[in-house]
Amino acid sequence: MDEQTRKKNIRRTALIVGAVALAFYFGFIMLGVMRS
């Protein structure tokens, strides 16, 4: 795997994992909004 592809993969994995974290954060706040 060349360096360019590796960097692209690193960026993509980081963005996906970060997006999952944000989804959990806002998802659980939305759960609170809907319950209260």
Partner 1 sequence: MTTATVDGHAAGHDDHDHGPTKGIKRWLFSTNHKDIGTMYLIFSLVMFFVGGAMAMVIRSELAVPGLQFVHPEFFNSMTTMHALIMVFGAVMPAFVGLANWMIPLMIGAPDMALPRMNNWSFWILPVAFGILLSTLLMPGGGPASGWTMYPPLVLQTGDAFPFLIFSVHLMGISSIMGSINVIVTIINMRAPDMTLLKMPMFVWTWLITAYLLIAVMPVLAGAVTMLLTDQFFGTSFFLAAGGGDPVMFQHIFWFFGHPEVYIMILPAFGVVSEIIPTFARKKLFGHDSMVYAASCIAFLSFIVWAHHMFTVGMPLTGQLFFMFATMLIAVPTGVKIFNWIATMWRGAMTFETPMLFSLAFVFLFTIGGFSGLMLAIQPADVQYHDTYFVVAHFHYVLVPGSVFAIMAGAYYWLPKWTGHMYNEKLGKLHFWMSTIFVNITFFPQHFLGLAGMPRRIPDYSVQFADFNLISSIGAFGFGLSQLIFVFVLLTAWKGAKATDRVWEGSHGLEWTVPSPAPWHTFTTPPKARIADEAFE
Side chain identity, residue 9: N
List binders of partner 1 among 3-32 (CB under 8 A).
Answer: 6, 9-10, 13-14, 17-18, 20-29, 31-32
How many residues belong to the site for partner 1 (CB under 8 A)?
22
Specify the residue for token string 């980081």.
14
Specify the residue for token string 């954060």.
25
Degrees, nearest 5: CA angle 1-11-20:
130
Least distance from partner 1 to the Cβ atom of residue 9, Å: 5
Name the residues that contact partner 1, by CB under 8 A: 6, 9-10, 13-14, 17-18, 20-29, 31-33, 35-36
